[in-house]
Amino acid sequence: MQTQAGQPAPGGRASERAIGVLISGRGSNLQALIDAIAEGQLHARIAVVISNRPEAGGLARAVAAGIETVVLDHRAFESRDDFDRSVAATLLSRGVRVVCLAGFMRLVGPPLLDAFPDAILNIHPSLLPAFPGVDAQRQALEYGVKIAGATVHLVNGELDAGPIVLQASVPVEDDDTVETLSARILVQEHRLYPAAVQLILNGGWTLDGRRVVCQTANPGR
């Protein structure tokens, strides 16, 4: 079955290409999005950056770029759903259309998924469906794969399991450590995420089962 995707999220001041970025840590992928926008490669506006951790390094990157930041500490909420509802309300009130998880270390539940159907993206440092979850690069090394990589996918209710938007591969060298392999993958992540966000914002794609199918040429691939 094909569904028309890329519709604006309901509610709020729907700004054509407003995105929200959710982080928990250093925010290098957030920085890649900021830089791609500044360089004119990604036509978007980051309306808000939300962190569930007050100490996240990525918050300073957002402030330096003049982007609004909001800290929603998950420990302050009574339930997972309460936290998700608050995140959704914050995004909707800023007119966000597409949500980008960038090192956001929380599972996304129904209140947030329902507010942004087929409009939440995540970046994961493996070639999914291989090595979901934490320590993907270590999992890849320990398994002994010769090719690793990164995936941007739409978020559904399962961990790292939504439809794949873009992937990039890197070789695994015999002398790789978790650190060297992670660094090689990260270079690709920073290229891949802006390209995937641009693709989703541009529309012209449909979901055919699990497959993200593009009607136009896709430069990110």
Could you give the residue numbers annotated as active site? 124
Please tell me the distance from the alpha carbon of residue 178 to that of residue 193, in angstroms, as a whole number. Answer: 21
* Tokens (6 digits) for 207: 């979901």
Asked if 195 interacts with ligand GRF (CB under 6 A), we say no
CB 55 within 8 A of CB 77: no
Size of the site for ligand GRF (CB under 6 A): 12
Q: How far is the CB of 103 from ligand GRF (least distance, A)?
A: 3
Question: Which residues in 153-192 contact ligand GRF (CB under 6 A)?
Answer: 189
CB 169 within 8 A of CB 148: yes
Q: How far is the CB of 10 from ligand GRF (least distance, A)?
A: 27
Please give the span between the terminal C-alpha atoms of the chain, in angstroms, as a whole number. 24
Asked if 27 interacts with ligand GRF (CB under 6 A), we say yes
Task: Determine the interface stretch with ligand GRF among 20-28, 45-53, 67-75, 213-221 (rule: CB under 6 A).
Answer: 20-28
Q: Which is nearer to ligand GRF, 136 or 212 (CB)?
A: 136
Of 35, 45, 14, the residue nearest 193 (C-alpha) = 35
Task: Determine the interface stretch with ligand GRF among 8-16, 37-45, 120-128, 172-180 (rule: CB under 6 A).
Answer: 120-128
* Tokens (6 digits) for 84: 């998700």
Asked if 69 interacts with ligand GRF (CB under 6 A), we say no
Please tell me the distance from the alpha carbon of residue 87 to that of residue 51, in angstroms, as a whole number. Answer: 10
- The secondary structure of residue 74, as a DSSP letter, is G
Asked if 125 interacts with ligand GRF (CB under 6 A), we say yes
Asked if 124 interacts with ligand GRF (CB under 6 A), we say yes
One-letter amino acid at 114 equals D
Asked if 52 interacts with ligand GRF (CB under 6 A), we say no
- Give Rg (Cα) of the chain: 17
Question: Residues in the site for ligand GRF, rule: CB under 6 A?
Answer: 25-29, 58, 102-103, 123-125, 189
